Chain A
């Protein structure tokens, strides 16, 4: 069996097992889920180790350069005058996906470990969790737009219930806001998807196809079709291809999230239970970035180039706006949520630069932020579980009370603010290098954008260090008094086991960024070349 299919089937299989088990065995559900995620982690590490590199494995717009490919005909319909509809079950990965896939598998394990705090309705929780697991893995593997869309939408419902049923006080509001926001983006994506499908024909079979890679080849567009490059069609007075790009970009920008489409994120993060926050920040935001690279840039490269300035501008706005907001937050989780927005801005900036450095930095930032935000949200969860409070000014002097916890917090904070030696430094440095290089190489971004990005790093140092100072240093003073003091025990073994690998990975990626760069490099170069050729 194809290994990617296996990766997708593992959560489904375990989901069925959990579904069939009686509620009396509810204690075993978390272990079953943990097993499932560990198996997935094993599979993805195996794939990582067996992932071939070299110019012949660049992927992007060459179907034969993808690895672990499985392609099965799925839906084939004769639609009369409109020709045949061809939808394939088509999975495969290139350098862009492999690093994100490994990161996703690890984050899922961590998320499962943090699910120990969930006490109510375990069967529902873990079923939804596994469904979400399958959907996010599927998004990174799918190479057929239809399949991609299916997985993309499939994430929404489990997340809605996970936030809505196990969330905090304003969970209903946060859940529906998240759902409506994302759906708003994706229904219009559906229209573009249908338009692309009707524009593109598979040269091998002559059918209309949803194959993303075929959509990247301008020769596959028939002349009269809406999204044909040569056709210069318009929709409601706007150039069709620009409109298509904008619609897809908005759909993914909501996921990233890019300011001003970010307002769902602080609410969702704050109300969601810790495991869901981890998945949201660690994985879902990356789906936005991945979608922009794979789909927006892949299918509409010339629009991405002509609109690079605006992408970069949005990236810079996200970086600065997120950072300033993070400075102003009084809730620790909200602060981290805004810091996510700021950090994901670097992804957009790197992508917009369209240089090898910038795109490598963007992918690296996604991987790095995946681990670091997981760690940060897990750490907030630790605190919240003990005293059910997250107010930054409700704690003081935690350093003496919980030394081990403080140590991990410091690692996570310093790593996130871009201290050399940690992954985020490499990632942000590369993104900024790309942005600095862009004015001279391809003239897409002006210098001031890179400078503003650098200011963002400074701001992130400010809010992380200030928080550290307020919460962990100084004389011990807690809002809840002695009750809190007793409740605030230091980390237990499970928590340490969860945090240690994350800290190690952040360090390892900082010292040996080649762990990621080696795997993504060929794809990044292929993408840059593809963008230049168009």
Chain B
């Protein structure tokens, strides 16, 4: 004990020093407590207040994120004894996550079904804030332990959110499935981490000697451990073959929760994947399987499986679930050719995808609120009845498909350019296959995305007037998103030059 005493003050001062680099997260933690207390004090009437507090708090967090850019001018910082890493690209990821969460927090209460929940939504806000704290950690985690903790934190919050409102057996099943799959995959990940720790004697993957130690071990063993860890991360990313949970959970959860699950944790998981893989891909000491090829194969399989499965779907949320799997595959392209350049392209692609996906689900909520439509077939003839919402839907879907002049197209173009640039140097056949698959699945994806405009505009149906209260908020949100998507389609450099 006495031997440790001299170190305590040094460790303490290092921890305190780190807090300066951790302000957004500190405020998020405080915000979580404030929202929870607000809920406790004001009880049933607290919904509005909680929402205001949560959103205002998020704005503050975003401001703090912005201020962090000044801290990383001279490069990244390792904080909390090498647990977390603050770098420029990470701050962008955090900003995007906060921005999207801000939209999502507003969107939660606009869904009639979710809003009709008897417990009220106040708890959901505190859970969401807590999960955001986890997301921030995921973006910054660089130590095997912190990676595991961050993922678990997000997972537990997600379980709660999925099961927050279980209207029927199907969504209860979805909630349970999610927990079981999540638990199993995190157990596997933990096993993988423990193996890596056993092989290398260290949890700090950012240091060379850790990878060096690993290179001394049988490559099959390290590869096995690596696969286990990738399964844990892949569960969050939902790439094939660990994607089974996605369709059921996305369909069973409330639509805003689906919007949440399909975007922010995915972005954070990509950030985490980059953090985790960089040391292995860049040091040249990794002796296991070829990461780039492995990611390419996963990407190809994911694109094919996601897009082809989506063609068969009729439920709109289920279709978007499969399409989001396809998008994961496409984004993996950029990870397969990991570099500084590809990270910023990936950030852009994910931002655009997430915006469009939130927009699509917001419109699914809009139509569900207005008419109770859940299936693509139910949308017949809505185009002329809800022209603005339908036109926005078309723009958003065009962006998801990746056609000009939307942001989805520019995102796709930049990813292709990045992969091509690497292909020109390496002539790796896998990269070429990746690009060809990406192009082919774009055509496939049109096949199912176009089903929605097809039903909205081309099919005709005489129907009785069903008019509930108007969901103006959702309409404004989708107009806003469509506008942004077109704007970025014409001027992608507005965002991309920052990244």
Contact = CB atoms under 8 A, between A and B. Distances in A.
Contacts of A78: 497
A187 B55 CA distance: 41
A190 to B, nearest CB: 7
B376 to A, nearest CB: 13
B424 A225 contact: yes
A80 B341 contact: yes
B476 interface: no
Contacts of B405: 150, 154
B492 A154 contact: no
A190 B341 contact: no
A56 interface: no
B195 interface: no
Given A183-B442, A190-B413, A190-B439, A172 B404 contact: no
A198 B439 contact: no
In order of increasing CB-CB distance, the 5 nearest A-B pairs are A187-B439, A164-B458, A150-B404, A153-B404, A82-B421
B403 A77 contact: no
A85 B384 contact: no
Interface of A: 75-82, 85, 121, 124, 149-150, 153-154, 156-157, 160-161, 164-165, 171-172, 175-176, 179-180, 183-184, 187-188, 190-191, 194-195, 197-199, 224-226, 233, 235-236
Contact of A176 (B424, B425, B454): B454
B418 A82 contact: yes
A161 B394 CA distance: 11
A157 B424 contact: no
Contacts, number: 101
B403 A157 contact: yes
A164 B458 CA distance: 6
Contact of B413 (A180, A184, A194): A194
Nearest to A225: B424
Contacts of A165: 457-458
Given A187-B440, A187-B443, A224-B425, 20 more contacts: A76-B493, A80-B339, A81-B341, A81-B421, A149-B404, A150-B405, A153-B404, A153-B409, A157-B398, A160-B453, A172-B458, A176-B447, A180-B443, A183-B403, A190-B439, A191-B435, A194-B420, A198-B424, A224-B424, A236-B429
Interface residues on B, range: 35 or more
5 contacts: A80-B339, A153-B404, A160-B450, A172-B459, A224-B424
Interface string B302-344: 0000000000000000000000000000000000000111000
B213 interface: no
B417 interface: yes
B439 A179 contact: no
A154 B421 contact: no
Contact of B493 (A77, A161, A184, A236): A77
A156 B403 contact: yes
A266 B63 CA distance: 58
A176 B450 contact: yes
Contact of B446 (A154, A180, A194): A180
Contacts of B496: 77
B475 interface: no
Interface in B157-202: none
A180 B458 contact: no
Contacts of A197: 417
A133 to B, nearest CB: 16
A434 B437 CA distance: 41
Interface string B213-226: 00000000000000
A384 to B, nearest CB: 20
Contacts of A150: 404-405
Contacts of B440: 187
A160 B420 CA distance: 31
Contacts of A224: 424-425
Contacts of B450: 160, 176, 179
Contacts of B412: 190
Nearest to B440: A187
A195 B493 contact: no
A190 B401 CA distance: 14
Contacts of A156: 403
B436 interface: yes
B432 interface: yes
Contacts of B432: 235-236
B416 interface: yes
Interface in B350-367: none
B417 A191 contact: no
A26 to B, nearest CB: 13
A191 B436 contact: yes
B491 interface: yes
Contacts of A187: 439-440, 442-443
A188 B413 CA distance: 12
Interface string B406-423: 000100110011101101
Nearest to A199: B424
Nearest to B497: A77
B492 A75 contact: yes
A77 to B, nearest CB: 5
Nearest to A184: B443
A220 to B, nearest CB: 15
Interface string B448-461: 00100110011100
Which of B384, B492, B493 neighbours the largest number of chain A CB atoms within 10 Å of its CB?
Answer: B493
Contact of B424 (A75, A180, A226): A226
Nearest to A164: B458
A172 B493 contact: no
A164 B439 CA distance: 25
Given A165-B457, A183-B446, A81 B439 contact: no
A172 B459 CA distance: 8
Contact of A195 (B394, B420, B491, B497): B420
A191 B424 contact: no
Contacts of A81: 339-341, 421
Given A82-B341, A150-B404, A75 B439 contact: no
A188 to B, nearest CB: 6
